[in-house]
Amino acid sequence: MASIRIERLTKVFGATRAVDGIDLAIPDGEFVVLVGPSGCGKTTTLNMIAGLDTPTSGDIWIGDARVTDWEPGERNLGMVFQSLALFPHMTVFDNIAFPLRIKRAAPEAIAARVRAVSDTVHVGHLLDKRPATLSGGEAQRVALARTLIVQPSVFLMDEPLSSLDAKLRVEMRTELKRLHAALRSTFVYVTHDQAEAMTMADRIVVMHQGRIQQVGRPLEVYSDPVNRFVAGFFGVPAMNFVEGELRPEPEGARFVAQALRVTLPGYRGGSAPAVLGVRPEHVRLADGRESWPATVSLVEPLGDETLVFLDYGGPSSLVAKVDAEEKVAVGDRRSLTFRLDRVVLFDGKTGGRIPG
């Protein structure tokens, strides 16, 4: 088991700064998810931890050792790749046994260990098969078994579930979470899927343009985003953004936009362009202290909840997530209001959060 520490880690490819001086400390046994859109530097960061990419500058520590210059094989890591990277010319048995053969373990020990590990991930009946004949889920488990067999102190996973269909993905999510609970090893998991990040992580590291935007527990990142990028990245459907201006008031501030005026008691500061953010579940079809008339333009029932698109006179419509019992039809005139304690404000220029 081991903790990981990353200090001012930078990777430059040609003219691109793929990773731009990030600092991160991952305590022993934590399940950390690096999440962000493609090209944000998350996979490059993982590859540098693995030793597959050499940092341009900065340092990586695993446990008490500075491993920046170590060979990948010396770091005692297990990695599951996006493509799974099963060796196509070997049987499942030989695939799982490969790491032990490299370490020159005795054949009897290898056989026993392969059997034990393949039973834990339920691939014991597949040992004679070739990877090409496995289903997506089976291949996934074999890749996992091959990683588990050497009992690494750190597990690195690069979008390992992206090749699975939606249902299997959700199942494997739970299974990986269980595995983590059983092993108590450090997991570093890379994904672009915000749902995977939310459901699996102890802590989420949100990356964008080579930098860490925010580090925090899933609900923290969801409800208390540090900037507009993070706010927009999490949540389906995405947070509603309304561009406007923040104007000072005697007690607090007032957010003014086309067809919308919201009084925000907690906010201080001068007049400035701002963006108001409100999640669909915090938009209500009801009268409030402040409410605005709107027309229902689209209704998307999800079964448990219903998405309602509302034209309120602004440049784009607002999405509200309402109870499935709520009777709404396209063309209805309704009044809409926000849960003011959950509304967030961002600087109109920098996108940074305006504290309130």
Partner 1 sequence: MRHGRRALFPLVRHALLLAWTAVTLFPIYWMVMTSFKHAGEWVTWPPRWFPHEPTLVNYVKILTPGTSTFELGRQTLKILKPIGDSLIVSGVGSLLAVALGSALAYSWARFGTGGRNYPYNILSIRMVPPIVIAVPFVVYFVTLRLLDTYTGLILVYVATCLPYVIWMMLAFVEEVPVELERAARLMGASRLRVLRSVVLPLTASGLVVTFLFVFILNWSELLLAITLTNTEVSTLPITLNKFQSANEGRDYGPQAAIGTLATLPVVVMGFLIQKHLLRGFSFGLLRK
Shortest distance, position 102 Cβ to partner 1, whole Å = 5
Shortest distance, position 137 Cβ to partner 1, whole Å = 13
∠ CA 294-299-301, rounded to 5°: 140
Q: Return residues touching partner 1 (CB under 8 A).
A: 50-52, 71-74, 77-79, 81-89, 98-99, 102-103, 131-132, 139, 146, 150, 163
Shortest distance, position 315 Cβ to partner 1, whole Å = 42
Shortest distance, position 158 Cβ to partner 1, whole Å = 9
Residue type, 192: H
Shortest distance, position 109 Cβ to partner 1, whole Å = 16
Contact 51, 67 (CB under 8 A): yes
DSSP 3-state of 115: helix
Closest CB to partner 1 among 116 and 298?
Answer: 116
Q: What tokens does 277 get?
A: 């953010």
Q: What tokens does 178 get?
A: 């269980």
Closest CB to partner 1 among 16 and 317?
Answer: 16
Shortest distance, position 159 Cβ to partner 1, whole Å = 12
Closest CB to partner 1 among 156 and 215?
Answer: 156
Closest CB to partner 1 among 138 and 235?
Answer: 138
Closest CB to partner 1 among 83 and 350?
Answer: 83
* Strand 57-62 versus strand 203-208 pairing type: unpaired
∠ CA 47-235-200, rounded to 5°: 45
Q: What tokens does 123 get?
A: 């691939």
Contact 212, 34 (CB under 8 A): no
Closest CB to partner 1 among 154 and 319?
Answer: 154
Given CA atoms 112, 116, 118, 123 in this order, what sign does their dihedral have?
Answer: positive
